[in-house]
Amino acid sequence: MTHILKYSTTNRTRPSLFQPEGDMLGPVWCGVAILLLDWTLSAAFWAVLLHLGCPGCGGLAGLWAFGALKWVLLEVSVSALGAGRAELHRFVALLCLLRPVLEVGRTPLAGPPGPHGEPGADLSMLLLGGGSSVFACLVWEKLSSGGEKKQNQPDTKRILMRVLTYFKPDTLHLLTAFTFLIIGVICDTYIPLYQGKVIDQLSGQTLHASFGSTLGLLVLFSVGSAVFSGMRGGVFMCALSRLNRRLKLLLFQRLLQQEVHFFEENNPGRLSSRLHSDVDRMGLTVALNANAAVRSSVKTVLMLRVMLGLSWELSLLTCVEMPLLAFLQSKYISLSKELKEQTQECHAQLKDQASQTIGGIQTVRSFRAEEGELRRYRLALDQLCAIKRRSGIYSALFLIIRRIVTVGIKILMLMQARSLISSGRLTTGSLLSFLLYQKPMSNNLREILYCYRETVSTVGVISKVLGYLDRRPRTQPEGDLAPEHLEGRVLFQNVSFSYPSAPNKPALKDVSVELQPGRITALVGPSGGGKSSCVGLLKRLYEPGNGRILLDGEPLHHYRHKYLQQKIALVSQNPTLFSGSLRSNVEYGLPDCPPERAVDVAKRVNAHAFISEMEHQYETDIGEGGGRLSAGQRQSVAIIRALVRDPQVIVLDEATSRLDVDSQHAVLREVLARGRTVLLVTHQLSTAERAHRILVMEDGSVVETGTHKELISKKGRYYRLSRDRSQAAEGGP
């Protein structure tokens, strides 16, 4: 434990490369001192060679020997300065070994050095070696400190690997795409090289004999690059669209399985956005970034190989430019990342607001709230514009600085190229090839960095989508009871319940109620008394906290889910209807319903008359949400829809409130037929009067039970309710 604490403390207080530490010299000043010492040693080495009259430094062996000697001397100096820091040791190693390692890599590619190629006193190499070492060191230290931070972040690697598993069915597509990608990249890499060769041959710097074959190869690589890149794109897109289809289907299926509370907690607009934009983004980011990262990495390695062969000095300058640009890019990306998240949030807000306003247009209009809604929408749009403006400014600044760096390095390169051409170590064609490689090379590195950042920034979105995919509905698993005969006796046994969003506020307290077949039981009482909560539990939209609900003596969760849906029907005051024909709404979810059944039920509940008067009768399009029907007609359609399923228990939650009296009678007659159990939830005591038994609910408990007559004569809560209602109807106090 103690050593763990010690370790973490050491890690936390680990100073940066630029931070002075205690009484030691600051590491930056140590670095500068080491650099100066390195140059002094190199100058001394060349001076000795000059003094001894040696033509070179002894080839690779001499270079390695000098590097090793310098390493020892610099290490001794670092210790003498009292700066025994790991970063400085890495810097010293890089400074001493960079040149010999580069020479080892360069010699097999470019052949043994000519009279001018002997590694020796080269001022540009000295400056470049020092510069590259400093840059490499800074990049490395930056990356490694970034790596430490990432350990605390959500498991990015695991999440990305999980997304890749969804690609499994498309393995063949992906293998094909990656094969095309690699062939395309190889062809792409050799185009600039052969362009340079053609130019050299045209300008007479190399032999004309092979001009035909060089041109042929150039054409072959160009065509190959176009063909394979195109095919790679096509196959990737195909795999991506298959992945999107699979993921969306899976997510939609999971969402449909969730319990009602989940939809109360999660805004429908956000869920729809997860289903569409987030799944699209998830697939696109992972697939396209994997594609781009592989393409750029392969390209970088191949290009670096060719560029080193053309000129290692120019390659080194390119290597200085790239980390600098990468650093700028990474700064720009981290600045714009926050803005991007804010933009997404704004877009989601705008979408939500528009859909809520349009969806609730009747409420908006009835409260004359159009102006207010417009103002809210304008404010959200203004916020979005401000974010976009800031993002534009960052982008402009980044482009300007990047251009200045690129131009500066280009000038340095041209100066170096001039000296190489004049010394005969580089041809004009090779220079052209090199320049043609240089831009894509930095683009590649930028792309790799961008892909990495983009993928990491999408991890949040991906983990949310995966969270929904993994979410198990919080309901009891369904049972397997599905008896052919169901009596329909319902028993609430000491049921207590609180909504998940308000766990400390009981909606039902120890409710015990029996609903008998062939009888109507009415639930009445003031608003918030707990009537709808009883209905929700009976329909298994929620699970009781305590107690049980039995159907024919068996707990509800012992029955099959589909069986219960069919046997217990609920019709509410404002039923949900879908756009489409009246028949499709009535037969919703019943693919094998005989057409005459709807007509039959409609006749019995007094609805056939109004349906027959419609232009297309049962095939009439009732519009979005049944908008082309009156409120009473919508209730009739919902009652027919419930009855065609022939349920044994039927719950009418203010379901006949908009029907005329004759229709209400017809509905009650019909629902009671075949000995059905009927639960009537109503505020209209005139409707409750017809029930065989009335339960008065208040504050989550049943406070009175009896028939209308019994309750009136009791002069209790029901009596007061009934008196208040009649006084209100008469306009009394």
Instruction: Report the interface residues with ligand ATP, using CB under 6 A.
Output: 264, 499, 501-502, 507, 525, 527-533
CA angle 440, 446, 451 (to 5 degrees): 120
As measured in angstroms, the least distance from the Cβ of 594 to ligand ATP is 36
- How far, in Å, are 382, 600, 682 from residue 351 at the CA level? 15, 44, 37
Radius of gyration of the chain (CA): 40
Contacts of residue 338, Cβ cutoff 8 Å, sequence gap at least 6: none
As measured in angstroms, the least distance from the Cβ of 348 to ligand ATP is 23
Query: Residue 137 or 507: which CB sits closer to ligand ATP?
Result: 507
Query: Residue 517 or 529: which CB sits closer to ligand ATP?
Result: 529
Torsion of CA 656, 660, 664, 666, to 10 degrees: -140
As measured in angstroms, the least distance from the Cβ of 726 to ligand ATP is 19
Query: Residue 105 or 545: which CB sits closer to ligand ATP?
Result: 545
DSSP 290-335: HHHHHHHHHHHHHHHHHHHHH-HHHHHHHHHHHHHHHHHHHHHHHH
Give the span between the Cα atoms of 640 and 603, in whole angstroms: 10
Q: With residue 703 as reference, give the H or E element that holds it.
A: strand 701-706
Query: Residue 119 or 575: which CB sits closer to ligand ATP?
Result: 575
Query: Residue 87 or 653: which CB sits closer to ligand ATP?
Result: 653
Contacts of residue 84, Cβ cutoff 8 Å, sequence gap at least 6: 78
As measured in angstroms, the least distance from the Cβ of 531 to ligand ATP is 4
Query: Residue 265 or 382: which CB sits closer to ligand ATP?
Result: 265
As measured in angstroms, the least distance from the Cβ of 699 to ligand ATP is 8
As measured in angstroms, the least distance from the Cβ of 511 to ligand ATP is 11
The residue whose two tokens read 């809604």 is 373
Query: Residue 507 or 649: which CB sits closer to ligand ATP?
Result: 507
Beta bridge partners of 557: none
As measured in angstroms, the least distance from the Cβ of 535 to ligand ATP is 8
CB 86 within 8 A of CB 394: no
As measured in angstroms, the least distance from the Cβ of 259 to ligand ATP is 12
Query: Residue 88 or 490: which CB sits closer to ligand ATP?
Result: 490
Give the span between the Cα atoms of 69 and 96, in whole angstroms: 9
CB 98 within 8 A of CB 320: no
As measured in angstroms, the least distance from the Cβ of 573 to ligand ATP is 9
Residue 285: how many CB atoms within 10 A of its CB? Answer: 21
CB 597 within 8 A of CB 644: yes
Query: Residue 235 or 697: which CB sits closer to ligand ATP?
Result: 697
As measured in angstroms, the least distance from the Cβ of 27 to ligand ATP is 60
As measured in angstroms, the least distance from the Cβ of 554 to ligand ATP is 25
Helices 312-359 and 428-470 cross at an angle (nearest 10°) of 30
Q: Which phi and psi angles does 497 have, rounded to 5°?
A: -160, 140
As measured in angstroms, the least distance from the Cβ of 695 to ligand ATP is 11
Strand-pair category, 490-498 with 546-551 = antiparallel
Query: Residue 531 or 708: which CB sits closer to ligand ATP?
Result: 531
Q: Is 688 helix (H, G, I), strand (E, B) or coil?
A: helix
**Segment 536-541 long-range contacts (CB within 8 Å, at least 24 positions apart):** 536/260, 537/492, 537/495, 537/497, 537/508, 538/490, 538/568, 538/649, 538/651, 538/679, 539/568, 539/570, 539/651, 540/475, 540/564, 541/259, 541/260
Query: Residue 156 or 532: which CB sits closer to ligand ATP?
Result: 532
Query: Residue 27 or 529: which CB sits closer to ligand ATP?
Result: 529
